[in-house]
């Protein structure tokens, strides 16, 4: 392993959506509902790879519960970033109130199952 190389597998950087117009643009796109989150997908206005926005409204709970929900969704997005078929995608992950008592692994698996069922991801090949 040379200098500057990591023993970890290369992770794809997940950029964030920051402007309100970007969120509104995604809300007008494809909607995929899971038990603990809603995923909105849309081709970007300008190609720049995968960009993800995370939302947790006051319906989720107080500030601590909302922050935990957003952390869970961001971790799921990072873990699933390698699997995006369309590299240029904007996604908004919206937390539901039931997300707070779940683990990051559960949320990731649930979102992954929903995206496979909708044809966004290819099913994993069992070797």
Tokens coding 14? 């997940």
User: Predicted confidence band at 6 (pLDDT cuts at 50, 70, 90)?
Assistant: very low
Is there a contact between 29 and 92 (Cβ–Cβ < 8 Å)?
A: no
Of 84, 111, 82, 85, nearest to 96 (Cα)? 111
**Euclidean distance between CA atoms 40 and 26, whole angstroms:** 6
Residue 81 lies in a domain: yes
> Tokens 């995006």 — which residue?
84
pTM: 0.84
Residue 4 lies in a domain: no
pLDDT in tens, 35-63: 999 999 999 888 888 899 999 999 999 99
CATH number assigned to the domain comprising residue 113:
3.30.230.10
pLDDT in tens, 86-122: 678 899 999 999 998 999 999 999 999 999 999 888 7
Q: Which domain holds residue 109?
A: 15-117
Residue 33 lies in a domain: yes
Residue 80 lies in a domain: yes
What's residue 5's pLDDT? 47
């Amino acid at each position: 392993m040379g200098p500057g190389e990591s023993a970890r597998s290369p992770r794809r950087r997940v950029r964030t959506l920051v402007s309100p117009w970007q969120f509104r643009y995604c809300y007008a796109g494809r909607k995929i509902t899971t038990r603990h989150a809603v995923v909105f997908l849309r081709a970007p206005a300008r190609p720049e790879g995968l960009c993800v926005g995370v939302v947790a409204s006051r319906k989720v709970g107080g500030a601590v519960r909302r922050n935990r929900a957003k952390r869970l969704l961001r971790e799921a997005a990072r873990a699933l970033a390698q699997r995006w078929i369309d590299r240029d995608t904007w996604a908004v992950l919206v937390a539901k109130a039931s997300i707070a008592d779940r683990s990051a692994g559960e949320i990731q698996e649930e979102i992954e199952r929903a995206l496979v069922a909708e044809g966004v991801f290819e099913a994993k090949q069992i070797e």
